[in-house]
């Protein structure tokens, strides 16, 4: 491997670390806001399951990122580098502003922006982008509907129980499992995006063939990077997600995480890169809706939606701008 | 938004899923339809709950009056 390739792999892993830093904090938002775990323990819990995800899930999402977003012939070292820088810059801006945007969509926007800067609009693969675009909208709705359904089912199953204290203790324990499940889904989905970028790099540099699957060292390093990123997590976003969208109790937190985990397991299996932020936000809104619509703080939820809408165009423009001077070199 | 608007909210969610079906890749279209079904189920269930609550309220008013 040449120096340029090694450097861009390092940037990709840095992006993964930032993804953990920026996005993975969502894994622990509910478990912290319900006080089931202290922030420190929750971070360690999430980081461990982010890493462990590689044992369970395949690499379908990585394959989508590497082969279905941008024409492989356009993916050169400068394009991938610019795409990554665009995504990282966008992530840092939104992290600074405390907005829970999606690193995944920042990556897709960044890669698309750099590719268009290099070869024009025809460099984009419409079918792959269409799949991602549809699930930008669908994933929070699935999370919302499942979160609402799970919580109503749990209420219905236990509404006759008079041992409220014992039940609450049980749900607090169950939330450890649901938080672990969500972190597994998050690790599977988000670490794979970096794997996809590194796979594209390796293909572009002829290190592996065009039909190759993701090498094990790429899988392990991507999961390590996202796990470490989570460990150093971003508390501003935890605060927004966990306590400002709606108030949560242990049973609601468990339901939200379980709903988001089911959604992420499905998308990881199907090879659809979705935002874990979108999904958990939808699920939190879903459990809030079981009380009444007024229980959800729609002002904050809509601010989050605006951040989503701006992410792909924002990262696209930054990556396009980064690519221009590199092309001139 | 009050509790009475929940059926409409869920119906709107279901409608979004249904409207997205034509642009969803064929292999994933079942997701749109199943989410539409789930949203429709909650629309009806919450709607019936609303009607029940209204009748209960009217009955209580009549008894009180």
Instruction: At A69, list the tokens.
Output: 């977003």
Per-residue model confidence (pLDDT) at position A24: 58
Distance CA B62, CA B65 (A): 5
Question: What is the tens place of the pLDDT at every residue in A84-99?
Answer: 999 989 888 887 777 7
Helix (H) or strand (E) holding B53: helix B29-64
**pTM of the full predicted structure?**
0.85
Q: Which of A28-42, A278-292, B24-38 has the lowest mean pLDDT?
A: A28-42
Closest CA–CA distance from residue A310 to any residue of chain B (Å): 20
Per-residue model confidence (pLDDT) at position A295: 62
Contacts of B38 in chain A (CB under 8 A): 145, 149
Q: Does A142 contact B9 at a Cβ distance shorter than 8 Å?
A: no
Section A299-325 average pLDDT: 83
Q: Does A138 contact B32 at a Cβ distance shorter than 8 Å?
A: yes
- Residues of chain A with pLDDT > 90, as a percent, come to 29
Per-residue model confidence (pLDDT) at position B2: 47
Q: Does B17 contact A131 at a Cβ distance shorter than 8 Å?
A: no
> Is it the case that residue A145 has pLDDT exceeding 90?
yes
Contacts of A293 in chain B (CB under 8 A): 1-3, 5-6, 9
Question: What is the tens place of the pLDDT at every residue in A113-134?
Answer: 999 999 999 999 998 999 998 9
Closest CA–CA distance from residue B18 to any residue of chain A (Å): 10
Section A273-282 average pLDDT: 86
- Residues of chain A with pLDDT > 70, as a percent, come to 89
Contacts of B23 in chain A (CB under 8 A): 130, 134
Distance CA A284, CA A253 (A): 8
Question: What is the tens place of the pLDDT at every residue in B23-46?
Answer: 999 999 999 999 999 999 999 999
- Provide the mean pLDDT of chain A: 84
Nearest Cα residue in chain B from A289:
B6
Question: Helix, strand or coil for residue A70?
Answer: strand
Q: Does B3 contact A289 at a Cβ distance shorter than 8 Å?
A: no
Per-residue model confidence (pLDDT) at position A138: 94
Per-residue model confidence (pLDDT) at position A221: 92
Per-residue model confidence (pLDDT) at position B1: 44
Best of A61, A125, A127, A134 to disrupt the B interface (most B CBs within 10 Å) is A134
Per-residue model confidence (pLDDT) at position A278: 82
Q: Where are the alpha helices (DSSP H) in chain A?
A: 3-22, 26-33, 39-52, 60-67, 77-97, 103-119, 126-158, 164-204, 216-231, 235-239, 250-270, 276-289, 298-328
Q: Does A130 contact B35 at a Cβ distance shorter than 8 Å?
A: no
Question: What is the tens place of the pLDDT at every residue in A179-235?
Answer: 899 989 988 888 888 898 899 899 888 888 888 888 999 989 988 888 888 777 645
In angstroms, the Cα distances linking A155 to A164, A171, A309 are 12, 12, 34
Q: Look up residue B3 and give its DSSP letter.
A: G
In angstroms, the Cα distances linking A71 to A68, A90, A108, A127, B55 are 7, 23, 13, 11, 61
Closest CA–CA distance from residue A135 to any residue of chain B (Å): 8
- Domain segments of chain A: what residues? 3-328
């Amino acid at each position: 491997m040449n120096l340029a390739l090694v450097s861009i792999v390092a940037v990709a892993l840095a992006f993964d670390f930032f993804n953990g830093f920026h996005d993975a904090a969502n894994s622990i938002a509910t478990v912290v806001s319900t006080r089931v775990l202290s922030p420190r323990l929750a971070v360690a819990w999430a980081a461990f399951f982010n890493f462990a995800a590689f044992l369970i899930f395949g690499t379908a999402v990585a394959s989508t990122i590497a082969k279905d977003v941008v024409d492989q012939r356009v993916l050169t070292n400068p394009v991938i580098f610019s795409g990554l820088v665009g995504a990282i810059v966008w992530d840092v801006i939104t992290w600074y502003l405390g907005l829970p945007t999606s690193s995944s969509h920042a990556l897709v926007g960044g890669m698309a922006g750099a590719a268009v800067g290099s070869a024009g609009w025809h460099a984009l693969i419409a079918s792959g982008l269409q799949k991602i675009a549809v699930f930008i909208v669908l994933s929070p709705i699935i999370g919302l509907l499942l979160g609402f359904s799970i919580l109503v089912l749990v209420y219905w199953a236990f509404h006759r129980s008079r041992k409220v204290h014992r039940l609450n203790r049980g749900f607090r324990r169950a939330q450890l499992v649901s938080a672990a499940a969500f972190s597994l889904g998050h690790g599977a989905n988000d670490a794979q995006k970096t794997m996809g970028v590194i796979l594209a790099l390796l293909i572009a540099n002829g290190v592996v063939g065009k039909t190759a699957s993701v090498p094990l060292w790429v899988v392990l390093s991507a999961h390590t990077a996202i796990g470490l990123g989570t460990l150093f997590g971003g508390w501003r976003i935890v605060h927004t997600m966990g306590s400002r969208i709606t108030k949560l109790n242990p049973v609601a937190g468990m339901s939200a995480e379980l709903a988001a985990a089911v959604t992420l397991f499905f998308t990881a299996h199907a090879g659809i890169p979705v935002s874990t932020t979108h999904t958990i936000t939808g699920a939190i809104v879903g459990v809030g809706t079981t009380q009444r619509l007024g229980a959800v703080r729609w002002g904050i939820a809509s601010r989050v939606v605006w951040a989503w809408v701006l992410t792909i165009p924002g990262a696209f423009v930054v990556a396009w701008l980064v690519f221009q001077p590199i092309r001139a070199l | 938004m009050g509790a009475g608007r929940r059926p409409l909210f869920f119906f709107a969610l279901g409608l979004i899923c249904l409207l997205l079906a034509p642009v969803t890749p064929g292999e994933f279209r079942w997701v749109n339809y199943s989410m539409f079904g789930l949203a429709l189920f909650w629309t009806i269930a919450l709607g019936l709950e609303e009607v029940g609550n209204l009748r209960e309220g009217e009955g209580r008013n009549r008894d009180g009056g």
